[in-house]
Chain A
Amino acid sequence: MSVDFGRRVLVLRPHRAASVRFPVRPALVCLVLVLVALAAGMLALGTGEFTLTPSQVLAALSGEGTRAARLVVVDWRLPRVLLALVIGAALGLAGAVFQALTRNPLGSPDVIGFSTGAYTGVLIATVLFGNGYYLVAAGALAGGLATAVAVYLLAFKRGVQGFRLIIVGIAVSAMLVSVNQWFIIKVDLQAAFAAMLWGQGSLNGLGWAQVTPVVVTVGVLCLLLIGYGPRLALLEMGEDAAAALGVRVERTRLAYLVIGVGLTAVATAAAGPISFVALAAPQLAQRLTRTPGIALLPSAAMGACLLMISDFLAQRAFAPTQLPVGVVTVSVGGIYFVWLLVRQARR
């Protein structure tokens, strides 16, 4: 145990030449968040029209218990819980990347118009080709990525600067929002309502078929993030400082943008645009861990925790009506803003 700038750090030295350092508080916070998320997941596995006790759930998960219990827990509920955890973590990471890049607590992938573009893509796909899970996912991916690229290029002028990126994102989003609303008027009420449901972000109706692609892509992007190491924290110190410390600013920023957009794209393609997890998770995690900058791992844990709890609430709060989880996360966003206001006012 050593003390580093006032923070307690656990140093493991398995070998004389190698050591691993764990800041104690962030590690503890991550552990607690993961435990909370898992507990919420257990709760979600056990409740519903077919209620099970935790021990029955555990039995079903380990391949024992009745066939009915295994069917409900493993085949029906487990994929949704896994997706909530993975997508939540992906959104938390994406938010952390964007907030570090824009150096602003209100930065999020939505700022560069990603969700709006994804929504446009889905609407176009629905209108042109009809409704289908993979069609919708492909439309969301194409729309979101095209929008992100367009915003990036429009904001590019001897490098991209946070302020310009944000304003261009707002402008492009505004255009796409009006296109979306125009589409919603054009199509019939049924299709409009379906698109609207997707547009809120929902985990309803996801199964094992969606788990593998999501987990694999998120995993690959996480490896990339780990590969880039500490450069995000350097970028967060400002362009000049980062450049002086040996970071190639423009190239690194582009790489992080791609990773952040990729994480958001996976989440959006699977579940629609789930808002505010990406915005709130990194900030809440930072408050809890008291790290000086945005930290990736706690953000991911916080994102998983937030989305898992939100999805549980969305399923159970107005049962049997299944709300889209996006409605709950929007409320989380509202509470988060109120909390920000109160905290600032107290200063």
Chain B
Amino acid sequence: MVLTRTPAPARPAAPATARAAGIAATRARRGAGLAVCLAVLALVCLLSIALGTRNIALGTVWDAFFHYTDTDDQSIVRDLRVPRTVLGLLAGVAFGLSGAVIQAVTRNPLADTQILGINAGAGLFVVFAVGVLGLTSLAQYMWFGFAGVAFALTLVYLLGSAGRGGATPIRLTLAGVALGAVMDGLAGGIRLIRPRAFDYLRFWDVGSLAGRPLDVATTILPFVLAGVALALIVARSLNAVALGDDLARTLGARIGVTRVLATVSVMLLAGAATAAVGPIGFVGLMVPHVVRWIVGPDQRWIFGYTVVCGPVLLLLADIVGRLVVRPGELRVGVVTAFIGAPVLIWWVRRARVSAL
């Protein structure tokens, strides 16, 4: 299976200086693109603070930061919308980048924390922590989220790659869906036995950024940062892994170490984000795909762009969810599923996909 488009063969006739200039131009273009994405992200953050279920004049939003007088509208902006935006930013980075890393490490373009059952694994462990052990603080049950991600990822990979033929996308996907169903079912069983956990968790289930105080974001911040750092560190080796295990090894990449580090990165990112906001799917599927069309196959650039574009998508989905059914609101997990699923269907209906 080929994950990335093969680059056009370098023209041997081109002189070295021209080639260097070409590379520099590509880099400049990618750098400029990243700057544009950052600007879009800043704009989306501002929109997320300015727009909401309740109409608040832009002047009031401005005053909330610079002339705070403790009115209702101002405190909505400061105490609800700002934490929500910060959390969306972190969760977007985490879900987007974890998707990109899994796609790279499993060499599977269909990978996503939702599809591979990783969210379900984190969910099962969190439900266990809340329902059976009675934990209620995020700082405690987040660790169960990490363990759940590691557990699910390992099982799915083992099940999907066992036997002859190795880990093809379809086998990994089916293994993920099937194991995800088992873990969802077990989590459902725990909930039936402990109705109080059911009530507490049914709001967590859909994935929502709403109503979480700022310290939720600060709790997961160090873990998300560590996950991003790890992902960027292994990006170079993942470029080699994309060529296949044998070729990567001959190129000097340490495959085992790379896989472990990448898995730890996914664990930190997806575990922290799932524990904080619940399972949100498809961000990790869509963002790396779109980014790959823009920047090509280099994982370093893909990861860099994904870190910026993941929160753009998640925050936009959150804003849409706030605006479409006013005065109620759609949870962001519902919105991402409704954006992501059609994308996935369209993607699989395209011409040559069947020959993956």
Chain A contacts to B: CB under 8 angstroms? 104, 106-107, 110-111, 154-155, 157, 161, 163-164, 166-168, 170-172, 174-175, 177-179, 181-182, 184-185, 189, 192-193, 196-197, 199-200, 275-276, 279, 318, 321, 323-324, 326-327, 330-331, 333-334, 337, 340-341, 344-345, 347
Contact = CB atoms under 8 A, between A and B. Distances in A.
11 contacts: A106-B175, A106-B178, A161-B354, A170-B173, A170-B177, A174-B282, A177-B337, A184-B205, A196-B192, A324-B192, A330-B189
Given A174-B282, A340-B162, A168 B202 contact: no
Interface in B181-214: 181-182, 185-186, 188-189, 191-193, 195, 198-199, 202-203, 205-206
Contact of A168 (B115, B198, B348): B348
B159 A341 contact: yes
B35 interface: no
B188 A196 contact: yes
Contact of A163 (B170, B177, B179): B170
Contacts of A323: 189, 192
Interface string B317-356: 0000000000000110110011011101100110001101
Given A106-B174, A181-B205, A341-B162, 20 more contacts: A111-B177, A154-B349, A163-B356, A164-B354, A167-B173, A170-B177, A171-B340, A178-B206, A178-B337, A185-B203, A193-B195, A193-B198, A200-B192, A275-B185, A330-B182, A330-B185, A333-B178, A337-B159, A341-B155, A344-B159
Contacts of A192: 198, 202
B163 interface: yes
Q: What secondary structure prevails in chain B residues at the interface with A?
A: helix
Contact of A327 (B114, B178, B189, B354): B189
B57 interface: no
Contacts, number: 144
Given A182-B334, A327-B189, A333-B182, A171 B341 contact: yes
B158 interface: yes
Contacts of B177: 106, 111, 170
Nearest to B160: A106
Nearest to A165: B348
Nearest to A172: B341
A106 B156 CA distance: 13
A327 B356 CA distance: 36
A171 B331 contact: no
B348 A327 contact: no
A174 B341 contact: yes
Given A182-B334, A196-B198, A337 B344 contact: no
A333 B185 contact: yes
B110 interface: yes
Size range of the chain B interface in the assembly = 35 or more
Contacts of B170: 104, 163, 166
Query: Taking each of A164, A193, A330, which has the highest tally of chain B beta carbons within 10 Å of its own beta carbon?
Result: A330
A182 B186 CA distance: 20
**Shortest 5 CB-CB distances between A and B: which pairs?**
A330-B185, A344-B162, A327-B189, A106-B174, A178-B337
A96 to B, nearest CB: 17
B346 to A, nearest CB: 9
Contacts of A200: 185, 188-189, 192
B202 A344 contact: no
B182 A167 contact: no
Contact of A182 (B163, B330, B349, B354): B330
Contacts of B340: 171, 174
A327 B337 contact: no
A167 B159 contact: no
Contacts of B173: 166-167, 170
Given A106-B174, A182-B330, A276 B182 contact: yes
Contacts of A154: 345, 349
A225 B193 CA distance: 40
A231 to B, nearest CB: 23
Nearest to B207: A178
Contacts of A333: 178, 181-182, 185
A196 B192 CA distance: 8
B288 interface: no
A340 B193 CA distance: 28
Given A170-B173, A174-B281, A178-B338, A337 B345 contact: no
Given A111-B177, A154-B345, A331-B186, A174 B337 contact: yes
A326 B192 CA distance: 11
B159 A182 contact: no
B163 A347 contact: yes
A177 to B, nearest CB: 7
B192 to A, nearest CB: 7
B204 to A, nearest CB: 10
A185 B278 CA distance: 14
Which of A157, A164, A171, A327 has the most CB atoms of chain B within a 10 A radius of its CB? Answer: A171
B163 A344 contact: yes
Nearest to B177: A170
A178 B181 contact: no
A182 to B, nearest CB: 5
B173 to A, nearest CB: 7
Contact of A170 (B330, B334, B344, B353): B344
A337 B175 CA distance: 9
B185 A327 contact: yes
Given A276-B182, A279-B178, A333-B181, A171 B344 contact: yes
A123 to B, nearest CB: 13
B207 to A, nearest CB: 8
A181 B191 CA distance: 14
A181 B337 CA distance: 12
A157 to B, nearest CB: 6
B4 to A, nearest CB: 20
A229 B342 CA distance: 37
A303 B249 CA distance: 46
Interface string B110-146: 1000110000000000000000000000000000000
A154 B155 CA distance: 31
Contact of A110 (B163, B181, B331): B181
